[in-house]
Every structure is written in C-alpha cells, then in structure tokens.
Amino acid sequence: MHKSPLGDHTTGSIVHVVRGGQSTTWTTGCSTPCLSLYKPTYFGILVPPVFAKPDESLGYWLDREYLVRAIYAGLIDLSDYRDQLARIQQSFLEGDDRLIAKKSTRTEFKTFQKACSDREEAFVESFREAIDRIAENPAGLSPLWIRKTITLGHNVSAPTLKERQEGR
C-alpha cells in the first residue's frame, strides 16, 4: 500500500460515508492512498474509478501506478504534487457536502461524479511525460522498485502469484 519492500500494493482504497440518508463511497482506484485522490462515487453510477470492463479498469490503475512510481523516482516534485492534490481533494469534499445538503437528485450526483472524474483525469494527464518516461524506463527507482516496475501489468489475470511472476 505504501512504498515498501514488504507485501504488495493494494488495488485501491475506499472510505464509505453515510450522511443524511445519502451515501458517498470515496475511492482511489489506485494504490498508495497517501498519494492518491479519493473520488466520490455513488452506487449504480459507472464513471471512473468505477468500471464495467476489466481492461479499462487496469489501464486506469496502471496510469496512476506509474504516476506514483514517477514520484518515487523524483521525476515529479512531491511538494507541488501534494499541494495540487490537497486543493483538488478539498474541492471534491466541498462539492459532495453541497450536494448532500441540498438533497440533490441522482442526476446531479452523476454529473458531479463525472466532473470529479474528469478533473482527476486532467490532473493525472498533467504528469503524462513523467508517467510515460517511468513506464518505458524505470531508471531512478531503487533496484527493488525497478524489478516491480518491469513486471507491472503483466499476467495480471493469472490465478496464482507464481503464474503472475512468470511474466517477467
């Protein structure tokens, strides 16, 4: 879940909140929650980070995983990244609070979820050069993270760890 040689990464983190009869599931859709945006999701609405198709979900997760590894490699200024992340996260929280306070319609929640998804996607895309660079060449990472990055996204559907590792 965090940068560590122990264990493996999570595929995402979730915080579920119920207020005023409305529930919001805050979802990262990616590993390393301390470097991830929690996006508001609402039951029954298929907008990223919620997907119906596994290949779309994997692509979404991989982009964000490479983003985190670009941070680990020093390709992205961590302080600036965290400042931007905090501002975006705060806007998501405030927007969700407003929707709940005014007892919004399902359509309004869906519109908000889509707007948050689009904003998070734009944030990720602003780091596209670093994402592509680390995906193509993990130099700059520690030897352990180079090995993990080289195998990232290979044999992800294999039923056993051994089979997933054979894709290296």
Q: Please write the tens of the pLDDT for every residue from 9-40.
A: 677 899 999 987 899 999 998 888 999 999 99
Q: Which of 49, 18, 53, 54 is nearest to 36 (CA)?
A: 49
**How far apart are alpha carbons 2 and 9 in whole angstroms?**
7
* In the predicted structure, residue 122 carries a pLDDT above the cut 90: yes
Provide the pLDDT for residue 159. Answer: 66
Residues 96-103 have a mean pLDDT of 96
Provide the pLDDT for residue 143. Answer: 87
Q: Which residues of 117-154 are buried (b: 16+ CB within 10 A; e: fewer)?
A: bebbeebbeebeebbebbbeebeebeeebeebbeebee
List phi, psi (to 5°) of 19.
-140, 135
Amino acid at 110: K
Q: Which residues contact 118 (CB under 8 A, 6 or more apart)?
A: none
Residue whose pair of structure tokens reads 């400042």 in the numeric block:
83
**1 confidence band (pLDDT: 50, 70, 90):** very low
**How far apart are alpha carbons 142 and 34 in whole angstroms?**
20
Better-scored residue on pLDDT, 139 or 67: 67
Domain boundaries, the chain: 14-165
128-136 and 106-125 are packed helices; what angle lies between their axes, rounded to 10 degrees?
60
Residues 138-142 have a mean pLDDT of 89
Count of other CB atoms within 10 angstroms of residue 40: 22
